[in-house]
């Protein structure tokens, strides 16, 4: 039994060393512990730990009885009790060490899992932060492009307004010229009508004179 206890002690020590140092075997140990804590694994571990605890209690009880016999015998102890005392003490020490190392392995495995979960969470947060920074950079680039487009459109608007003002002035000048030409043409029409009327009057006067002359000539011939 002592050889088995020593084997368990060394195995647990090696497992703790593998958990403490980052080696390729560390992942295998963690995977093995993960599987051990699933299904019936915890029940088996608790059963083994309970058995070791019962045997440890039995060894302690035996050592207490040996101590009582030694006290009752006046401090004298026979060689058999000495051997049994040493055997029970060694077994109790080994079993206590096994339970303590098992508890250490459980806590180390728990903390390593928590650390892995925290690291994954930190990686997710970093990715989200990086994504938000990229989004901010993209947004700033888009805002810069929008601002440049806005400046270009404002310049284009000012140019179009200037052209519109120039065209408006040209239209006003053209309208003024058209109005002046219209008034001038109206004046020409009035003058033309007046000239036509005077021409008609002159013709009428000439016809009247012609009639008078022809009438006077006919009287002389008579």
pLDDT score, position 17: 86
Mean per-residue pLDDT for 186-207? 80
pLDDT score, position 217: 61
pLDDT at 10 over 70: yes
pTM beyond 0.75: the answer is no
pLDDT score, position 134: 63
Tokens representing 172 are: 């006003």
The mean pLDDT value of the chain amounts to 81
User: Could you write out the DSSP letters of every residue in 129-186?
Assistant: HHHHHHHHHHHHHHHHHHHHHHHHHHHHHHHHHHHHHHHHHHHHHHHHHHHHHHHHHH
Query: How far is residue 200's CA from residue 207's CA, in Å, rounded to a whole number?
Result: 10
Report the range out of 31-45, 60-74, 143-157, 195-209 with the highest average pLDDT. Answer: 143-157
pLDDT score, position 75: 62
Mean per-residue pLDDT for 30-53? 83
pLDDT at 152 over 80: yes
């Amino acid at each position: 039994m002592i050889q088995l206890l020593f084997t368990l002690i060394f195995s647990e020590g090696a497992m703790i060393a593998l958990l403490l140092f980052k080696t390729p075997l560390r992942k295998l140990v963690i995977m093995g512990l993960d599987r051990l804590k699933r299904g019936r694994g915890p029940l088996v571990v608790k059963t083994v730990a309970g058995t070791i605890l019962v045997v440890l209690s039995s060894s302690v009880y035996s050592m207490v009885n040996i101590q009582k016999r030694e006290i009752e015998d006046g401090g004298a102890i026979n060689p058999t009790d000495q051997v049994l005392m040493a055997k029970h003490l060694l077994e109790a020490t080994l079993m206590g060490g096994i339970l303590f190392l098992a508890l250490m392995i459980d806590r180390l495995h728990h903390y390593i899992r928590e650390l892995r979960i925290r690291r994954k969470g930190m990686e997710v947060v970093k990715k989200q932060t990086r994504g938000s920074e990229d989004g901010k950079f993209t947004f700033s680039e888009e805002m810069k492009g929008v601002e440049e487009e806005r400046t270009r459109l404002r310049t284009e608007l000012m140019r179009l307004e200037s052209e519109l003002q120039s065209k408006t002035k040209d239209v006003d000048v053209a309208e003024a010229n058209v109005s002046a030409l219209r008034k001038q043409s109206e004046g020409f029409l009035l003058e033309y009508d007046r000239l036509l009327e005077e021409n008609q009057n002159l013709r009428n006067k000439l016809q009247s004179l012609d009639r008078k002359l022809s009438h006077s000539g006919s009287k002389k011939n008579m």
